[in-house]
Amino acid sequence: MKKQILPLFASGFLMISNFSCSDWNRTAEKENQPEGLMINETEKKQAFSGNKTKIKLALILDTSNSMDGLIDQAKNQLWKIVTELAKTKDENGEDPEIDLALYQYGNDNLSVRNGYVQLVQNFTGELDEISEKLFALKTNGGEEYCGTVIGTSLNDLKWSESADDLQMIYIAGNEGFNQGSYLYKKACETAKNKNITVNTIFCGNRDEGIKTFWKHGADLTNGNFACINSDAKAIHYDSPFDDQISLLNVQLNATYVPCNAVGFSKKQKQLAQDYNAERIGKANASKRYLSKGSKVYRNSSWDLVDYSKKKNFDINKLDKKYLPDSLKSLSNYELKNKINQLADDRDKIKKEMAKLNKKREEFVAEQKKKAIESGSVQLENVIIKGLRDQASKKKIKFEKTIN
């Protein structure tokens, strides 16, 4: 099956420099409309409303020598976690604004001055950044100071001040939770005061996790405590829908167009993370593609469509030298129509992906239940359970499929 996937990835790289496909040469419609036509104004207001419910999830991973299995699970299961986030709606039926952050700790390559702690990626909705940096993590020795890394994340990250928002830390490791000079009790109490829930994941047996204070750390913020076998191989299930999802992903990629100085490198990053998912396997690639077809996947820093939804977007100020050759010569009116066409194409693809996601999840549901019942609980199971438990307290609901 991988032989079928890799050509699709290779064709994606051609799209970086060849955006002049027939779809992009369609003539502008509604030529009697004024030059000042606004682009999807309703969508723009919804996407950038300051009143949106927020979901903020910080993932903190132990990257000491013994944690290679944990890192592999995180790489394998990131996109399943994202697709779960993509099902959320707030109590008013609106889409929350979802951001993820990534920390590592307990690695000898990190600064002892900082307590062997590193902010790998600040809160972002551009999930290719998370994926790229997750795949770059390497394990190496170290001292694991849970209190220090939690405290650091509370200070460094921009958390919400609203008690109505869902804010979670997931910290995973296998050494004593009480190690280091920064007391874990103080860090967890500070988190609770900021309306942030600390969920702890001990890589080992439950009794050991309780004895080494991992459960107590979670209890201090009413978070979830769980144990996983970090050495267990991630379980993926192929489905009859994977080939169709892969084809839709190629079409989806064609709607992402670089529009500024960072756009070309970001587009390459998008395709490179597709490849990283494909290397793991067909099923994992499908999970990434479906995540990209959801509201969680945002690229407003470089993509023409997402960038145009920004509150202060002005097409007259767009530097066209960064656009693909096929778009550089378009008038502003023609370019606005092209942006709207790309946005419409993207919406249609996402709707098809949502239908396939539902079918795919139904297909693998029974097999996944058996895996959980047999005791092979892994990182994704723990994070998704905690997410659903804590979302219910914030009146956040889950749809049947991604949106």
Residues 195 and 241 in one domain: no
> Is residue 325 helix, strand or coil?
helix
Q: How far is CA 111 from each of CA 104, 108, 136, rounded to the nearest angstrom?
A: 12, 8, 18
Torsion of Cα atoms, 21 then 24 then 25 then 29, to 10° = 160
Q: What is the pLDDT of residues 166-218, one digit of tens each?
A: 999 999 999 999 999 999 999 999 999 999 999 999 999 999 999 999 999 99
Nearest of 101, 96, 110 to residue 47 by alpha carbon = 96
Instruction: Return the amino acid letter for 277.
Output: A
251 by Cβ neighbours in 10 Å (0-12 / 13-18 / 19+) ranks as middle
Distance CA 51, CA 213 (A): 37
Answer yes or no: do 223 and 292 share one domain.
Answer: no
Q: Is residue 39 part of a domain?
A: no
pLDDT at res. 368? 67
Is 47 among the domain residues? no
Low-confidence ranges of the chain (pLDDT < 50): 1-7, 9-11, 13-18, 20-39, 41-49
Q: Which two tokens stand for residue 326?
A: 């096929």
With respect to residue 177, please indicate whether it lies within any of the assigned structural domains. yes
For residue 335, give the H/E element and its range.
Answer: helix 332-373
- 64 and 200, same domain (yes or no): yes
- According to the model, what pLDDT value does residue 213 have? 98
Which residue matches tokens 């597709």? 274
Query: Which are the contacts of 122, defined by CB distance < 8 A and separation ≥ 6?
Result: 101, 156, 157, 158
| Cα–Cα dist 263/301, whole Å | 8
C-alpha torsion 65→66→71→73, nearest 10: 170
Residues 350 and 386 in one domain: no
138 located within any domain? yes
274 close to 246: Cβ distance less than 8 angstroms: no
Q: Are residues 242 and 226 in the same domain?
A: no
Is 188 found in the same domain as 306?
no
- Domain identity same for 160 and 300: no
Q: Is residue 41 part of a domain?
A: no
Q: How many domains does the chain have?
A: 2
Residues 292 and 222 in one domain: no
Give a yes or no: residue 206 inside a domain: yes
Cα separation, 273 vs 250, in Å, equals 13
Helix boundaries (H) for 122-164:
127-136, 146-156
Q: Residue 75: CA atoms inside 13 Å, Cβ hemisphere, count?
A: 23
Query: What is residue 374's predicted lDDT score, i.e. its pLDDT?
Result: 53
Whether residues 105 and 219 fall in one domain: yes
Domain region containing 229: 54-233+376-398
Q: Are residues 394 and 355 in the same domain?
A: no
* Domain shared by 116 and 226, yes or no: yes
DSSP symbol at 4: H
Amino acid at 344: D
Residue 138: partners with Cβ closer than 8 Å, 6 or more residues away:
63, 107, 109
Residues 355 and 380 in one domain: no
How high is the pLDDT of residue 236? Answer: 87
* CATH number reported for the structural domain that contains residue 386 in this entry: 3.40.50.410
In a domain, 186, yes or no: yes
Is 293 contained in some domain?
yes
